[in-house]
Structure 1
Amino acid sequence: MKQKYFAHETAVIDENCQIGEGTKIWHFSHIMTGCVIGTNCNIGQNVVISPEVVLGNNVKVQNNVSVYTGVTCEDDVFLGPSCVFTNVTNPRSAVNRKSQYAGTHVGKGATIGANATVVCGHD
């Protein structure tokens, strides 16, 4: 079966991802297992979409963005270049806090500016 989205040859797409028709995934991006990406999205260069992230339709993710587990973006969201989402409020190198991930919800049509850091647990 032919895929209905475009992925550059350097993109890494893990198993068990749902990627909508018309979506484009560019150079050196990594789409991790269990994420859902809607139709007609544009995932820029060097983007990380972590496990179980949900992106709606027409979401534009600019270059160098990191979207970590716990993030949901509704339709028509714009994520500016090099923005990043957090998913733990007090991260530590030697402490596993995966059980403490806090979700972040980005509403329909929202714009997150370039270089923004979005602290988890907010709408």
Structure 2
Amino acid sequence: MGKIYIHPTSIVDEDVEIGEDTKIWHFSHIQSGAKIGNNCSFGQNVNISNNVRIGNGVRVQNNVSLYEGVELEDYVFCGPSMVFTNDLTPRARYPKGHEGYKKTIVRHDATLGANCTIVCGHEIGEYATIAAGAVVTKNVEPHALMAGVPAKRIGWVCKCGQVLNEDMICPDCGKSYECLKHSVTARGGAVLK
């Protein structure tokens, strides 16, 4: 059985599930109803809000808050100080409560760079990479490399995380990809050959 490490300065509320070999570092707060998988790491000053779902092998760097409505699948990487939102029209005077929150799903193996912002109500596809400082305002295709404000696709990335060359080949591991569009309404994406 693996052990869970919780730094003494962190707070874990009641009714929280934390998987084996997970580490929670300094000044973090895990709120009730949160479910965290195995072998995760949460840096300094991380807040996991009520009812957030986190898969296995997730890495969340310092100063990140995962608000209610956010779901991270396995092996997601959240860079330092990146931002999630959960309300498109917040007002301090008129809080909506959890019924008004928009869901955000980050699919497995996606990387969210330092200081990027993920506007709520969108899905980040598997193996996608969001560049540092980018602002995501729409769904992101699997394997897409997104940068800018608002974020636009500027390339594709391999499963290993390297940017694919113009021939859709990974310069590190040699995997080759092709872009497919299955129909007019279906989303296209990079698919392993």
TM-score scaled by structure 2?
0.62
Query: 2-side partners of 1:8 and 1:89: how far apart?
Result: 34
Query: Which residue of structure 2 aligns with residue 16 of structure 1?
Result: 15
Query: 1-side partners of 2:82 and 2:58: how far apart?
Result: 14
Query: 2-side partners of 1:115 and 1:66: how far apart?
Result: 12
Any stretches of 5+ residues in structure 1 without a counterpart? none
Tell me whether 1:122 sits opposite 2:122 in the alignment: yes
Query: 1-side partners of 2:18 and 2:54: how far apart?
Result: 10
Query: Which residue of structure 2 aligns with residue 103 of structure 1?
Result: 103
Query: 2-side partners of 1:106 and 1:80: how far apart?
Result: 13
Query: Which residue of structure 2 aligns with residue 47 of structure 1?
Result: 46
Tell me: higher relative CO, structure 1 or 2? Use CA pairs within 8 A at least 6 residues apart. 1
Query: Which has more radius of gyration?
Result: 2
Query: 2-side partners of 1:71 and 1:18: how far apart?
Result: 16
Query: Which residue of structure 2 aligns with residue 61 of structure 1?
Result: 60
Per-residue CA shift, 1:2-59, capped at 9, x if unaligned? x931000000000000000000000000000000000000000000000000110000
Percent identical residues: 55
Query: 2-side partners of 1:58 and 1:95: how far apart?
Result: 37
Query: Which residue of structure 1 aligns with residue 74 of structure 2?
Result: 75
Any stretches of 5+ residues in structure 2 without a counterpart? 124-193
Query: 2-side partners of 1:74 and 1:87: how far apart?
Result: 17
Query: 1-side partners of 2:31 and 2:79: how far apart?
Result: 20
| Counterpart code for 1:46 | N
Paired residues for 1:22-33 under 5 Å: 22-33=21-32
Q: CA RMSD in A?
A: 1.3
Number of equivalent positions: 122
TM-score scaled by structure 1?
0.96
